Amino acid sequence: MPYRAAFRCIAGCPGEISIWQPIYQCPRCGGLLQVVHDVDALRARGAADWKRCFDERYAHAAKPNGSGVWSKKEWVCPELRDENLVTMNEGATSLLRVERYGRAIGVEDVWVKQCGLSHTGSFKDLGMTVLVSVVKQMIGDGARVRAVACASTGDTSASLAAYAAAAGIPAVVILPRGRVTPAQLVQPLANGARVLALDTDFDGCMTIVRRLAQEDGVYLANSMNSLRIEGQKTLSIEIVQQFGWEVPDLVVIPGGNLGNVSALGAGFDLMLDLGLIVKRPRIVVAQAAAANPLYRAYRNQWRFEPVAARTTIASAIQIGNPVSVEKAIRTLQRYDGIVEQATERELADAAARADRAGLFTCPHTGVALAALEKLAARGDVGKTARVVVISTANGLKFADFKVAYHTGRLPDVDARHANAPVELPNDYDAVRRAIDGVTEGHA
């Protein structure tokens, strides 16, 4: 049976729109679109059959199954022709049990989904492979696309630039000047994108790129384009698959523009619809206190107001007017959702505590961990609950933050787990004295 997918308005306006058109909002009400699948066609195969099929394909090297996204192609973008696949074997990232960290915070069964171990070092690759592949097929079928473009807090631009370069499609990325790390800035430069650093914040960049998409023939690659969500939703499918098709009790995810939490929910929704799972996890979105519009809405009966985001070390989620807020609220309402926030100190200490147990966490993962620690401390998560924390980016992109933390140079953060290097003369006795006490706390 042929599988198919189309855009539909999230607010329920009638009609479907082809995903092969450059369209990002409902033409009737202006709301966001979502991709819907022909669920009856997918259901005809049976849940056990899908599980077997996905397990057989998982992380096989041959294209497209080396990709965690394209090994689930029928659920993602079934009408994409294989010659248009632009993949870097994204996804299929490890799901790691962090026992020492779990013990330290009083929750025994904590796992970290390592999305930062993907091609460009963040979860953005999961969605970008879908979007760029679709654009490649559109161009092949005669559409005129000048370039693909995004506003970005760093990771989206890295991902877009890499996939566009692999496909041979021009890319434009618009960044808030001075607010992305050097490691993030150099990624799109290296991949040959036109990089525009604007004197504004992320929300200002977003306004400009939306206008470019409307008036100037560029194709919008931000997560308001729900093709991205289709790839990102494989995140929850992959987690459940890695647990042998068991659903965890709680998933904690950092939120900025709020596309990723919507994607997480969409993956669980489809598994429920197709009978692969029968229960829902609880979902927790974690925000930086400096950029917390969803947290405020949660505390105010889901009444949302944009805020001016203040500077945070978690720079990729320094977003005051999240594009996908409506989708995110709907998701949280279905998943018994909680929103928690973390101060700069809390996120930095949580990241460092997890690093002490062997991880190397980015500050956004620190926000998620700090939220989990707060939930654990007030008893909102049981001691034996199975918890998955989504680590969204590779800590190596944020090395400056780590160095500043460990050398006591983070403003407003009195680093509890700082571990500064010890500088010594070339002297054996000095070295011996310096390693005294090194075994403390490691029994």
Q: Which residues bind ligand PLP (CB under 6 A)?
A: 122, 153, 155, 223, 254-260, 316-317, 362, 364, 392-393
In the list 13, 95, 139, 272, the residue contacting Zn ion (rule: CB under 5 A) is 13
CB of 18 to Zn ion, least distance (A): 16
Does residue 26 bind Zn ion (CB under 5 A)? yes
317 binds, among Zn ion, ligand PLP, none (CB under 5 to 8 A by kind): ligand PLP
Measured distance CA(198)–CA(43) in Å, rounded: 47
**Peptide bond before residue 64 is cis, with ω within 30 degrees of 0:** yes
90 binds, among ligand PLP, Zn ion, none (CB under 5 to 8 A by kind): none
Site string for Zn ion, 162-181 (x = CB under 5 A): --------------------
CB of 66 to ligand PLP, least distance (A): 23
293 binds, among ligand PLP, Zn ion, none (CB under 5 to 8 A by kind): none
Instruction: Return the number of the residue (66 or 116) whose C-beta is nearest ligand PLP.
Output: 116
175: tokens are 């960044």
Q: Which region, judged by CB under 5 A, interacts with Zn ion, from 2-10, 101-109, 275-283, 349-357?
A: 2-10
Q: Which region, judged by CB under 5 A, interacts with Zn ion, from 4-12, 229-237, 303-311, 412-420?
A: 4-12
CB of 16 to Zn ion, least distance (A): 12
31 binds, among Zn ion, ligand PLP, none (CB under 5 to 8 A by kind): Zn ion
Instruction: Return the number of the residue (4 or 310) whose C-beta is nearest ligand PLP.
Output: 310
Q: Point out which residues bind Zn ion (CB under 5 A).
A: 9, 11, 13, 26, 28-29, 31
